[in-house]
Structure 1
Amino acid sequence: MKSKQLITLFIVSTSILSLHAQHLPYQNPSLSAEQRAEDLCSRLTLEEKCKLMQNGSPAIKRLNIPAFEWWSEALHGTARNGFATVFPNTTGMAASWNDQLLLQIFSAIGNESRIKNTLARKSGNIKRYQGLSIWTPNINIFRDPRWGRGQETYGEDPYLTGKMGLAVVEGLQGPKNSKYYKLLACAKHFAVHSGPEYLRHSFNIENLPARDLWETYLPAFKTLIQEGNVAEVMCAYHSMDGLPCCGSNKYLQQILRQDLGFKGMVVSDCGAIGDFWIQGRHEVAQDAAQASAQAVLAGTDVECGANYDKLPEAVKRGEISEEKINVSVKRLLKARFKLGDFDSDNMVEWTQLPESLIACSKHKQLAYQMAQESMTLLKNNGILPLQKNARIAVMGANANDSIMLWGNYNGYPTKTISILEGLQNKSKHISYIPGCGLTKNEFIDSRFSQFKTPDGKVGMRATYWNNTKMNGTPATTMDITEPINLSNGGATVFAPGVNLEHFSAKYEGTFHANKSEDIHLKLSSDDLARIIIDGDTIINSWKARERVNVSDKIVHVEANKDYKIQIDYVQNDAAAIIQFDLGPLVKMTEKELLQKVGDAQVVIYVGGISPRLEGEEMKVNELGFKGGDRTTIELPQSQRDMIALLHNSGKKVIFVNCSGGAIALEPESRNADAILQAWYGGEMGGQAVADVLFGDYNPNGKLPVTFYKNDSQLPDYNDYTMKGRTYRYLHQAPLYPFGYGLSYTTFAYDNAKYDRRKGNLSLEVTNTGKCEGTTTIQVYIRRTADINGPIKTLKAFQKVSLQANEKKRVTINLPRERFEGWDETTNTMRIVPGKYEIMVGQHSDDPDMKKLIIYLK
């Protein structure tokens, strides 16, 4: 009897071992992603499912499910994850009107991001920003230049935005015929988001005309969904018609999934589900459990946040069923299977990419090319290009600011060429006058580069703890080589592995004084901060739990002496901000400034604004901008006065404007001899500016946004209707129109013809100037009977490069479906039979626009 029991036990044990030796269906790579997701979902507990539905998804060891981080960024380069290639900001890249170059760039960005994930997986610890789900592109329409996050978009036009967005998606996700996605791209923010930043957690858009929704705000999403097969869509913070976007059945179920046909995954913006119930925000739910149920029922599959922890409670209360939760879980699991997240690395081609590609010379060359193509020349009275033997003075707060070039949502380049450095690379006849800031004609001449870390490197050593006591094992340490400028705006952590809130930090370094002088300490913080020099507390705001802003504290340093400087910081809750720099305060009179300029023949004034002044959910700054949004688009008065002073003194002035969007430059269009819109040019931006100014590169950038004359041309910022907005509905003359940009040569367009049968437009293009150049042919259409519709709408474009005096016949694809527009009789988007005007020109307000009339049945 005993032997029979042993035999039975042996058989059972062998069967169990045999079962575990076999692949379960979800572990079988020969099955489809849908089949694997279905099987795995059936094996999960409710609590496990809810954990997987949050951005920091933990590993589930019993099923061999690896940890997964849904939140990573790559707006214009792999972001917030160490060294990476930094390309121009997004509106700058849109100014290239080169979607094929953008495809190459995002293929490179995708490679860098994938490699960093592979390295993180091998380390066994995947942190935020190290994942395979990339929350870009931002394809919202830049409807108003005051929006601080407009710099993240591809401009104000639906068609241009869609074309550029397609390139981003393909570059990140990889070729459509690949077995595995390289990464998951994410179209955001659905729907119609474009500010206001300071109200975004409570703002409600009501009664938006259906025409504006379908003809302006949704086309780019439709393009990326139906043509690009984008894997993710992110829902926005605000409400539409009284319901938060992440909880709106109308927008997520009816419009996104039914009307647009989206089959992928919806992710929430960070903290958006909390906005459902937190007092003073949308307040459509009583608590986190109810808010989570509302979001999942509407179709939000993954939350950036922690409210979905309460989904099991919502199930117990009967507010949502587990079957409804399964719908979302299967979507997110399917996406992970399509990434190869459960398969061995030797099966997934993207895991074989070499680490040497990160910030490699080839990628830097792409950044350089895009920076060149982004440069947009707005005015030139003949002063450009400059002679390299000319005596030139360089001024302006952005001239020697490398961080400004990085834009926002940025990575960290291995080297940045500032605009000053780029100019000095071209000419030895350049003097630099650091005589003014962005908002005042005074500035702190930074001495931060005189810091050494405890182990002798340049900069300060930063140590972070995920507690408010500055004790225990640090979360991370890192070196900071530029003036400290950190905030948690836009849910940005100070460093990988550091909490968003409730953390502390110590910054320490040895400051070596090169000469005896008075040094101003500049400290700005939100919550507790203090500066200690050689053991003495010099600035102490350790008891206050409020914003600290000190710029008038002066210490005297002696030449060749070392000073140990320590900054302590504690963040309690809500906003986290720490900014620090030190150096002598420089303030010169107008007479002193002109004396510094001396006999310079030309002054290059590099001004504008900065990502420190415009961006996502920022504090009110020195210009009074609210939440990162601008309250005015006028150039800061101090810069305006300086340019006028230089002009009135008889100097030739070249104004280089750095900004993420349109600046009102009406006085500068009179006082400057040339204006170059340089955007935020990335790590190679300074070299590209110099190339254009000295004629080593012929500019061909075109504005992706309208440059208005002044604030008076702007409608109410909070009004989302398109009346009076962008080139499509602006009935006043702008300062510089959408699609505008000068070259050092000239072009002529002639003999335009449209072949309705082939869906092609052809025309002759001639370079009528004296040097090689590139023009961007822009094709607009208008349905003549549509009196309430856009003045014109971009429907095609093509870049063409020609030698001097070269002529070429160019054919541009303009198929019948491009004539789709809003039909007021049926309240639908369709091709309405009738008379259409085709307009071909070099910008949207081109007086030499070639016009054709066609009739569609």
Structure 2
Amino acid sequence: MLENFACDKNIPETSQFPLCNTSLSYENRAKDLISRLTLQEKAEQLGNHAAGISRLGVPAYEWWSEALHGVASVGYGVHFNATVPGATSFLTVILSAASFNTTLWFKMGQVVSTEARAMYNVGLAGLTYWSPTINVFRDPRGLQEVGKEGNSTGNRLKVSSSCKHYTAYDLDKWKGVDRFHFDAKVTKQDLEDTFQPPFRSCVEEGRVSSVMCTYNRVNDIPTCTDPDLLKGVIIEQWNLDGYIVSDCDSIEVYYDRIKYAATPEDAVTMALKAGLNMNYRDFLLRYIENAVKLNKIEESIVDQALIYNYIVLMRLGFFDRDPKLHPFGNLGPSNVCTEEHQELAFDAVKQGIVLLDNKKALFLSKNTTKNLVVIGPNGNTTMAMISIYAGIPCEYTTPLQRLQKYISSVTYAAGCLFVNCTKESLIWPATRVAATADVVVLVMGLDQSIEQEDLDRENLILPGY
């Protein structure tokens, strides 16, 4: 179990500090905390794993957790165990987006935030989740994004969330170009009309407490070092009430891979001066001390970056003693994987399904279907069904298992071992089984061996064709 709060009243020598005084403003409490830190301690707070400060009664904190479509096990901040063995997992984000039902999205957000807070209360999770991904994308098979319609990507809803990846970021690895070297050439009009609306809506309407900038450049300038995009837009125009964090190793990429910065100290200086508050990984904390000592950046800018990080944690109650005494303190393991949450997840699937054509084949009749055959490697898989950036679901259910509960006689034939179907030895057995069926259900689609983060497809051809 994680030590998950500061200002423990049982430690009077630290709990009496102004930073623990809940009658003060968050800003004043944050300033008091920062005033007590050495430069080295400040540096150690600028990465996703913020070091503990034992002399002040502040435990270490892991900022990186994920909750793209349920509390995920991807980030370092979440730990499933016997107390909470799994969490509600909604299916891939593009599916829920296809419902075009904002009420549904709100309910999903309530479920995820409730389960996340419940896990925090028992020391199994943090309070900051670097989700959702709201990049505009135009490939309907995308696993993380919600679509290409700017209005639908912006409306989503406890805990702190972060909208990512800012901005004009729609390439991972494609035809020899990777996300680290990608330079998006975007006109001002296209930026304002296409790529910025989801993020603007996320900050202004959703009142998100964080935005994540990323690896790519926009018109030659890396996003996390661009003061116009960070300070000028996110902070001054949209009035972000929170912090800006870089994607994994982004600042290091600017120095090491694309040579945008001459030295590591230059890279971290440009990022902090542009408005960055935190670096996912440790590049910023490794070089910021030396940057200050070399007079490349003032320590006051480091202080200003930290203020917003701490304000977010204070708004979440991290500095308000035992979380069980706070609002939402009654949440616990019994609030995770509830029947109500599972019913909503099932309903979300039904609302997102798009039926292109129905030639009187659906719905399947229990009475008239005597022999159903399910074909396809994804017909009896679990991991492909829960998609990318997932946690441990409350239960695993394959399409085959669901159909077996509905139809009395179901036969399964994989057809291929994997979705890329490199060997054809199972195709003919599947063909023979199909010939005996009243109804054949072909479970098509991809898995993460075909397309995922850092792996883009170059064509629309079905894998194995």
Q: TM over 0.5: same fold? A: yes
User: Does the residue aligned with 1:351 lie in a helix, a strand or coil?
Assistant: coil
* Secondary structure of residue in 2 paired with 1:37: helix
Q: Establish whether residue 160 from structure 1 lines up as the match of residue 152 from structure 2.
A: yes
Residue type at the aligned position of 1:44: L
Summarize the alignment of residues 703-718 of structure 1 with structure 2, pairs less than 5 Å apart. Answer: none
Corresponding position of 1:606: 443
**Which residue of structure 2 aligns with residue 373 of structure 1?**
351
Higher strand proportion, which one? Answer: 1
Corresponding residue for residue 353 of structure 1: 331
Deviation at 1:324, TM superposition (A): 1.0
Contact 2:184 2:218 in 1 (8 A): yes
- Structure 1 pair 608–46 and aligned structure 2 pair: CA distance change class (3 A): same
Pick one of 304, 310, 324 that aligns with 2:280.
304
How much has 1:20 moved relative to structure 2?
Answer: 4.7
2:407 pairs, out of 427, 443, 449, with 427
Letter in 2 for 1:201: F
One of 340, 348, 373 as aligned partner of 1:393: 373
Residue 326 of structure 1 corresponds to 303
- 1:442 positional shift: 4.1
User: Which residue does the alignment assign to 2:460?
Assistant: 633
Count the aligned residue pairs.
Answer: 436
Which position in structure 2 is the counterpart of 1:63? Answer: 56
Change (3 A) 1:298 1:22: closer
Q: Provide the C-alpha distance between the structure 2 equivalents of 1:20 and 1:344, rounded to a whole number of angstroms.
A: 14
The reply on whether 1:226 has 2:218 as its aligned counterpart is: no
Amino acid at match of 1:438: V
- In structure 2, stretches of 5+ residues that fail to align are 1-11, 74-78, 81-85
The letter for the 1-side match of 2:315 is: K
Is 2:96 aligned against 1:96? no
Residue in 1 that maps onto 2:138: 143
How much has 1:606 moved relative to structure 2? 0.6
Between the aligned partners of 1:58 and 1:379, the Cα distance in structure 2 is 56
Q: Name the aligned partner's letter for residue 334 of structure 1.
A: I
Asked if the contact 1:237/1:245 (under 8 Å) is kept, the reply is: yes
Q: Post-superposition shift, 1:68?
A: 1.1
Shift of 1:426: 0.7
CA contact (8 A) 2:69 2:390 kept: yes
Structure 2 residue 386 is the aligned partner of structure 1 residue 406: yes
Which has the bigger relative contact order, CA under 8 A and spacing at least 6?
Answer: 2
2:320 is paired with a residue of what secondary structure?
coil
Q: What per-residue deviation string (whole Å, max 9, x for no partner) do you get for residues 15-66 of structure 1?
A: xxxx958822211011111111122122211111111111000110111122
Aligned equivalent of 1:288:
264
Q: Where does 1:301-700 land on structure 2 (aligned, <5 Å)?
A: 301-308=277-284, 309-345=286-322, 346-388=324-366, 389-390=368-369, 391-436=371-416, 437-440=418-421, 442=423, 587-588=425-426, 590=428, 592-617=429-454, 628-638=455-465
CA distance in 1, matches of 2:355, 2:14: 66
1:440: Cα distance to partner?
Answer: 1.8
Q: 1: CA distance between counterparts of 2:235 and 2:277?
A: 13
Following the alignment from structure 2 to structure 1, what is the Cα–Cα distance between the partners of residues 406 and 391? Answer: 27
Within the candidate set 117, 120, 123, 2:120 is matched to: 117
Contact 2:136 2:149 in 1 (8 A): yes
Classify 1:21/1:318 alpha carbon distance in 2 versus 1 (closer, same or farther; 3 Å).
Answer: closer
Q: CA RMSD in A?
A: 1.9
Tell me if structure 1 keeps the 8 A contact 2:420–2:450.
no
Q: Is the CA contact 1:85–1:364 (under 8 Å) kept in the aligned structure 2?
A: yes
Q: Residues 186-205 of structure 1: matches in 2 within 5 Å?
A: 186-197=162-173, 199-205=178-184
Structure 1's consecutive aligned runs of 4 or more residues displaced over 6 angstroms after TM superposition are: none
Task: Report the alpha carbon displacement of residue 188 of structure 1 after superposing the two structures with TM.
Answer: 0.7
Q: 1:145, 1:108 → 2: CA distance?
A: 26
- The counterpart of 2:222, out of the listed 220, 231, 244, is 244
- Structure whose alpha-carbon radius of gyration is higher: 1
Separation in 2, partners of 1:372, 1:352: 32
Measured against aligned partners, the alpha-carbon deviations of 1:623-666 in whole angstroms (never above 9, x if no partner) come to xxxxx21111122254xxxxxxxxxxxxxxxxxxxxxxxxxxxx
Match of 2:44 in 1: 51
Give the Cα–Cα distance (whole angstroms) in 2 for the partners of residues 383 and 368 of structure 1. Answer: 22
Change (3 A) 1:143 1:211: farther
Q: How far apart, in 2, do the equivalents of 1:215 and 1:430 lie?
A: 50
Provide the residue aligned with 2:76 in structure 1: none
CA contact (8 A) 2:172 2:453 kept: no
Letter in 1 for 2:452: G
CA deviation string 1:648-691 (max 9, x = no partner) = xxxxxxxxxxxxxxxxxxxxxxxxxxxxxxxxxxxxxxxxxxxx
User: One-letter code of the match for 2:461?
Assistant: E
Aligned partner letter, 1:636:
P
Partner of 1:849: none
Mapping 1:16-27, distance limit 5 Å: 20=13, 23-27=16-20
> Which residue in the other structure is 2:239 paired with?
261
Q: TM-score, normalised by structure 2?
A: 0.89
In the alignment, is the contact (CA less than 8 A) between 1:239 and 1:282 conserved in 2? Answer: no
Q: Distance in 1 between matches of 2:233 and 2:161?
A: 20
**Amino acid in structure 1 at the alignment position of 2:101:** N
Tell me the distance in 1 between the aligned counterparts of 2:292 and 2:340.
Answer: 52
1-structure distance, mates of 2:109, 2:463: 34
**1:141 and 1:156 in contact (8 A); partners too:** yes
Check 1:361–1:145 CA distance in 2 against 1; reply closer, same or farther (3 A cut). Answer: closer
Superposed displacement of residue 347, structure 1:
3.9
Alignment partners' CA distance in 2, 1:593 and 1:85: 34
More helix by share: 2
Q: Is residue 376–residue 442 contact of structure 2 (8 Å, CA) maintained in 1? A: yes
Change (3 A) 1:635 1:75: same
> Distance in 2 between the 1:109 and 1:103 partners?
10
Distance 1:188 1:29 in 2: 31
- Classify the secondary structure of the residue corresponding to 1:88: coil
Secondary structure class of the residue paired with 1:381: coil
Q: 1:290 to 1:428 in 2, by over 3 A?
A: same
The TM-score, its normalising length taken from structure 1, stands at: 0.49
Q: Secondary structure at the match of 1:233?
A: strand
Counterpart amino acid of 1:159?
Answer: N
Change (3 A) 1:595 1:241: closer
